[in-house]
Amino acid sequence: MILAIDIGTSTFKSALWDFEGRGIAFASVPLSTNADSGQWLRAFESCCAALAKRGMDSGKSLSAVEVIAISGNGPSLVPVIGAPEITTNGICIPAGPARLWLDRRATEAAAEVSAVMGDFVDASFFLPKALDIKNNEPELYEKTLHFLGCPELLALALTGEARTVFPSDGFERWFWNAEILKRLNLDAEKFPPFIRPGETFGSVLPIPAARFGISPNIPVVSGGPDFFAAILGTGVTGPGQACDRAGTSEGINVCTVKRIIDQRLMSYGHPVQPFWNLSGIISTTGKAIEWGRDFLGLGSFDEFFALAQTAGAGAGDMIFLPYLAGERSPVWNPSARAVLRGIGLSSGRGEFARSVLEGVCFAIRDVISVMEEAGAAVNELRVTGSATESGFLNQLKADVTGKEVLVPAHKDAELLGLAMLGACTRGIYTSPAEAAAALARIESRYFPDEKTSALYARLFQEYRSLQAVFKGDRQGRRR
């Protein structure tokens, strides 16, 4: 069996898979967006307990797990200040406060890193965060043994090995080397050596194995960042196919034949060689829907979607920009904030709810449009995440973007992608592409409604006009 772990922003997800891609048991734990990295370790223990119980119902034990594969959100940074410890309360790793990808306070450090790199590096990335800690929290910096992301932190707890996951070629702009660390006056020993997705952090040590009911000495495999696993789990293995990974944020990743360089986007190696991945990340899409739900005092997302359906297409010309915590691509402005334009006397709760959802879809269309402007073909959109349970939102994405939307059978594509990588590690498949071809299945399709295409084309142009005010100099200053 494979134990797959994906550390999301708001949910810690886990699953047991057999090597043919059949799900045996699933468990999840809600997470907060506070700075407590210990919650990831506690969530792992809770999920192991739940999986052990549910696995027993299927005649499976955690001791039968042959490989663990881990992915997670990012760029999130944890300054580790001590070795892993097993106590009566569980496993813990002494660490300073985590800085999640949402944390963009390091704008001054980002400017310094950008100057050294010779290219723009956003404040949400690893190096600006580490440099900001050095500049503004020197005591914490001196105590730090390793700077790690959230998947690497869990791997450290299990294996005792500190490693940094370098996702693929093309990520050099957002990571480091000895020369960059020297020029920034950062201590190289605090930055662990790199491994790639599909490679092992190490093997599970006897003490954590006994604590969690897992066999010792089994490999712990890097699944890369969450988007890497999601690309495989949705079966995005050929040019023109795009993965829409919807969670707290939203990542759009399209497969391209050659590398496309555009400063508004990110480009790096695709999980399936020899292709490339062109990526845009929208910071607060799922978070905007959650905010809208709470703002209206509704008890569930289903109520929010149902309310949105009471309004007509275009939400009475209300337009929402979902920039609740700055914005990444293609805006790259940490100071960007949400906008709701077009409120009138006839605007009601339904129009508000629909405008939030349409704003999320306009943001997706914006990323796709920039990709196409840069020369990429985007032929279809394969969606993943809990939001895919809403047929209304799936149809809205198709209508607003003008792209066919495909919904995989497994909604948590990260977990399935991790199962694929785990199966490759054990030699079941010769490559991630072969595993994806065998295991990724499409459940349903949504086609754009031609009756709304002109309306959404007009509103999208208005969305872009509103957005233009935030396109400053990438440090939050307007032009």
405 shares a domain with 381: yes
| Structural domain count, the chain | 2
471 shares a domain with 441: yes
Residue 475, pLDDT > 80, answer no
Band (477; pLDDT cuts 50, 70, 90): very low
Find the helix packing angle between 286-295 and 301-308, rounded to 10°: 80
114 shares a domain with 194: yes
443 shares a domain with 372: yes
Residue 429, pLDDT > 90, answer yes
Q: Which of 192, 217, 242 is the last residue of a domain?
A: 217
d(CA 233, CA 413): 4
Q: What is the mean pLDDT of the chain?
A: 94
- pLDDT (0 to 100) of residue 478: 36
d(CA 209, CA 189): 28
Weakest-pLDDT range from 66-70, 72-76, 142-146, 405-409: 72-76
122 shares a domain with 42: yes
Mean pLDDT of 237-263: 95
Q: Which of 199, 217, 235 is the last residue of a domain?
A: 217
Band (433; pLDDT cuts 50, 70, 90): very high
- pLDDT (0 to 100) of residue 442: 96
52 shares a domain with 147: yes
- pLDDT (0 to 100) of residue 77: 96
232 shares a domain with 113: no
115 Cβ contact partners less than 8 Å away, ≥ 6 residues apart? none
61 shares a domain with 26: yes
Q: Report whether 274 contacts 316 (CB < 8 A).
A: no
d(CA 411, CA 418): 13
- pLDDT (0 to 100) of residue 258: 96
Mean pLDDT of 123-139: 96
Range 411-434 burial, b when 16+ CB lie within 10 A, else e: bbbbbbbbbbbbbbbeebbeebbb
Mean pLDDT of 88-104: 90
Find the helix packing angle between 107-117 and 126-136, rounded to 10°: 120
- pLDDT (0 to 100) of residue 20: 86
Per residue in 160-206, pLDDT tens?
999 999 999 999 988 999 999 999 999 999 999 999 999 999 999 99
Q: Measure CA of the first residue to CA of the last residue in the chain; give whole Å.
A: 55
Containing structural domain, residue 77: 2-217
- pLDDT (0 to 100) of residue 364: 98
Mean pLDDT of 52-64: 87
- pLDDT (0 to 100) of residue 387: 87
Tokens of 198: 């599909």
123 shares a domain with 35: yes
Query: Which is higher by pLDDT, 329 or 3?
Result: 3
- pLDDT (0 to 100) of residue 472: 56
Residue 316, pLDDT > 90, answer yes
59 shares a domain with 30: yes
Q: What is the DSSP string of 257-287?
A: SS----TTSEEEE-SSTT-EEEEEEETTSHH
208 shares a domain with 241: no
Per residue in 340-382, pLDDT tens?
999 999 999 999 999 999 999 999 999 999 999 999 999 999 9
Instruction: Name beta bridge partners: 276.
Output: 256, 269
Tokens of 131: 């440099």
Per residue in 214-235, pLDDT tens?
999 999 999 999 999 999 999 9
Residue 474, pLDDT > 80, answer no
The rounded percent of the chain whose pLDDT value lies above 70 is 98
Q: Report whether 93 contacts 156 (CB < 8 A).
A: yes
The rounded percent of the chain whose pLDDT value lies above 90 is 87
Mean pLDDT of 293-306: 96
**Cis before residue 208, ω within 30 degrees of 0?**
no
d(CA 242, CA 253): 5
261 Cβ contact partners less than 8 Å away, ≥ 6 residues apart? 267
Q: Which of 157, 185, 217 is the last residue of a domain?
A: 217
- pLDDT (0 to 100) of residue 476: 41
The H or E element containing residue 42 is: helix 38-57
423 shares a domain with 386: yes
Mean pLDDT of 270-297: 95
Band (142; pLDDT cuts 50, 70, 90): very high
Q: Is 198 left (phi over 0), alpha (psi -120 to 50) or beta?
A: left
Q: Report whether 380 contacts 242 (CB < 8 A).
A: yes
CATH of the domain at 47: 3.30.420.40
